[in-house]
Chains A and B, each alone.
Chain A
Amino acid sequence: MKRIISLLLSLLMVLALFTACTPANNNGDANGEPDEVVEPGEEDADVIKIGVFEPLTGMNGGGGLQELGGIEYANKMYPEVLGKKIELVVVDNKSDKGEATTAVTRLIEKDKVVAIIGSYGSAVSIAAGDIIRDAQVPTVAPSATNPMVTQGNDFYFRACFLDPFQGEVMATYAIEQGAKTAAVIMQNGDDYSVGLANFFINAFKKLTGEEASIVDVSEFQLNEADFNAILTNIKAKNPDVIFAPSAATTAPLIIKQARDLGIESLIMGGDTWENPAVIDVAGEDAEGIVLSTFFDENDPATNEAVAFVEGYKAELAGKEPIIPAVAALGYDAYILVRDAIERAGSTDGVAIRDALKETKDFEGVTGIINFTEEGDADKNVAVIKSVQDGQFVFIDSVEVK
């Protein structure tokens, strides 16, 4: 008897997979006519579902949670659209491509979301891209900076600037500071680090007009903690700046060891460096480092930003000392999607996509947002921050034409 029961239970488990999913009548054909209603009638009619796929565990779990915080706060501020309540359906992609593709398929097929927000980390976003395009569900990535995310994908948008832009910003800033030579350190195998470093190299060479202006390019491996070999090499070449885009865990090690070796060059990084951990670990050595980021809480660009900083700061009280830039971008992604649904006047994927495309001078927390042809936020200003007295301080905003 016991055996029969356990057999039945396992059968039930398999069947649950099938029954939980209603027969799909949208067969993913690319005709995309608006009369094909995405939401079937039997769905809860007074709720509009927006999917969120973020890495909540795994390598990028920390960043994913920060981003989710911003999205959830936005949901609290603007809980309704078209007179209906917005429900967030959050799925974890474990910072893993395979998980990301199933997670997104689940959002689209099982939860029947009308739009998606995510994800932190470009690799998982790229992996989910084809599914999103075929299912015609408009998606906004808050902070995925790799160009490939939106490239050739009509339904993928993003609220942040791109790596090529960020690389150019840092190169522009370095040259404005009088730098003539630069050394670059990047993490082998990390798409973010490699991408950003290469864009910096190209921009720096172009702006100085000299091939030899990049004096050294070094790569390190994941989990490497000793950078003395790389740094001694760089010291011998005495560059004006060192650009080292890397994760917040590696950054302080590089900074500390460089200063210990007596390197006095300006050390610069990317948006990942805006993390209290960098200052905590590097201590006094962190003074004077320069990084680019999306957002500065002390210099709100819009009215929306003023309200956001005030409200979210209170929400974060005791948890995090500064508002993470990705939270601000998460917030922007949500209000962008909500605004597009409102203007589209329907929950049809193509209509929302068109509305997103027509977004004009939208007032977000991270500035005025317009989309380019490719679906990227057309931002031409980045915030440059430095560390002074153990604090991240705003020093400049750089504009690139």
Chain B
Amino acid sequence: MMDKLNDKKSKLFLNLLLIAVFAAILILLDTKTIGDAYVRRILNLSAIYAIVSVSMNLVNGFTGLFSLGQAGFMAIGAYTVAIFTVPLEARAKIFYIIPQNPVLAQIELPFVIALILGGLLAALVAVLIGMPVLRLKSDYLAIATLGFSEIIRIVFTNIKSITNGALGIKNIPIMPTMWVFFGVAIISIGLMWLLINSSYGRAFKAIREDEVAAEAMGINLFKHKVMSFSIGAFFAGIGGGLLATLFATVDPNQFYFPVTYNFLLIIVLGGMGSISGTIIASFVVTIGLEILRFFDEPLALFGVNIPLFRPGLRMVVFSILLMVLVLFFRNGLLGQKELSWKLVFDWLSGKKPIKKTDEGGAA
């Protein structure tokens, strides 16, 4: 078996097979042959979480910048999509307390353009914020970015003629197919994967390992940090835009700072510095939370109601599972490694993985 694995052809075959299986499942789901709206919704949400988590991992895991501003960037993307894609005739009803800004009230953009615009705006804001803030290190940077994300939320609550303030915006057009979410996710994550494996990516990793050494090697610290930060923000904005069309509504409270912790949890669980680990963790956490829902329902065993099963238990169980995972997988699911066939087969046959695992990425 191991000999076969070293064979490039069989690896390619396995990769193609895996892609075919995933594509087939997705096509079957999308054409409503299997599953239902509930399954599709959870998978769409997982795909969005994957984009945002990978974008956060780019900054936190690969560049080593402890940033907690993801919720703020998502808010920018989500609001851009919300403001520009809501049908013109529905706007007067939504902005019923303070009318929408007369200029904005005339503009309606196609979804894709609004989505990209949202990402670009998030990136622009990230550059502006990043220039002063990225001079800070570790915890100080975390506090500054957290503060920034709160500022964004409060600004959005207060510019009522643009965002409708606390009332939020509804009637955002819903996308009819899963390919919107999965297509954007595949493209976004693919782009980030290419970036990480380029010379820029190697520079990011060098900065993560040792800033002084990286600088001595001729890496422009500031330029690379701002770059990583703003690209991360761009994809967080894209994720936020997708979230807006999935929920069909946005309001400022959706982007409270605890939202960022969801993504922090996913990247810690999947492995800081592992794209495939982050993707797996996004799906496991989102799907897992739904599966655990049965803890919230009353359970009768042999006709006796077990009093422990009541609303809220799900989150208790989820937290316990998290603690167990963090205790036994201190580096997350994959640490800094990427998923590869070699890793999978080594793991299955109980072998300790050999150090060099970079080759043959399947994900």
Contact = CB atoms under 8 A, between A and B. Distances in A.
State yes or no: do A and B come from one complex: yes
A90 B311 contact: yes
Given A7-B348, A56-B296, 18 more contacts: A3-B347, A3-B350, A13-B288, A16-B291, A17-B42, A56-B312, A91-B293, A92-B296, A96-B254, A97-B249, A102-B45, A108-B38, A123-B168, A123-B253, A126-B170, A152-B93, A188-B166, A191-B166
Contacts of B90: 152
Interface string A119-146: 0000100110111001100000000001
Contacts of A148: 93-94, 96, 167, 170
A250 to B, nearest CB: 15
Q: Give the 5 A-B CB pairs with smallest separation, nearest first.
A: A56-B311, A109-B38, A24-B36, A109-B36, A189-B157
Contacts of A311: none
Interface in B22-79: 32-39, 41-42, 45
Nearest to A192: B166
A57 interface: yes
Interface size class of B (residues with CB under 8 A): 35 or more
A34 interface: no
Interface in A210-248: 221
Interface of A: 3-4, 7, 10, 13-14, 16-18, 21-24, 27-28, 56-57, 90-92, 96-98, 101-102, 105-106, 108-110, 123, 126-127, 129-131, 134-135, 146-148, 151-152, 188-191, 193-195, 198, 221
A126 B35 CA distance: 26
Contact of B38 (A13, A105, A130): A105
Given A147-B96, A195-B97, A102 B38 contact: yes
B112 interface: no
B100 to A, nearest CB: 15
B253 A17 contact: no
A182 to B, nearest CB: 18
A294 B256 CA distance: 31
Contacts, number: 133
Nearest to A123: B251
A57 B314 CA distance: 11
Interface string B266-309: 00000000000000000010011011010011000000000000
Contacts of A135: 37
25 contacts: A3-B348, A3-B350, A24-B35, A27-B32, A90-B297, A92-B314, A97-B247, A97-B251, A97-B254, A106-B290, A108-B37, A109-B37, A127-B249, A130-B171, A130-B174, A147-B96, A148-B94, A152-B93, A188-B157, A188-B166, A189-B157, A191-B166, A194-B97, A194-B167, A221-B154
A129 B174 CA distance: 12
B309 to A, nearest CB: 12
Nearest to B280: A10
Given A102-B290, A126-B168, A194-B167, A24 B37 contact: yes
A221 B253 CA distance: 13
Nearest to B93: A151
B167 A191 contact: yes
B252 interface: yes
Contacts of A97: 247, 249, 251, 254
Contact of A98 (B96, B254, B288): B254
B109 interface: no
A188 B290 contact: no
A147 B170 CA distance: 12
B37 to A, nearest CB: 5
Contacts of A134: 174
B296 A198 contact: no
B248 interface: yes
B159 to A, nearest CB: 12
Interface string B141-157: 00000000000001001
Contacts of A28: 37
B312 A57 contact: yes
Given A148-B170, A189-B166, A4 B348 contact: yes
Nearest to A187: B166
A105 B44 CA distance: 13
A24 B42 contact: no
Contacts of B42: 17, 102
A191 B36 CA distance: 33
A130 B169 CA distance: 13
Given A126-B249, A151-B93, A195-B97, A110 B254 contact: no
A399 B93 CA distance: 26
A90 B170 CA distance: 25
Given A98-B247, A126-B249, A152-B93, A190 B166 contact: yes
Contacts of B347: 3
B315 interface: yes
A14 B229 CA distance: 34
Interface in B337-359: 347-348, 350
Contacts of B157: 188-189
A99 to B, nearest CB: 9
B293 A17 contact: no
Contacts of B177: none
A101 to B, nearest CB: 6
Contacts of B288: 13
Contacts of A151: 93
A130 B34 CA distance: 23
Interface string B214-229: 0000000000000000
A135 B37 CA distance: 10
A18 B39 contact: yes
A193 B167 CA distance: 10
B6 interface: no
B248 A130 contact: yes
Interface in B245-268: 246-249, 251-254
A370 to B, nearest CB: 23
B358 to A, nearest CB: 22
B165 interface: yes
Nearest to B254: A97
B158 interface: yes
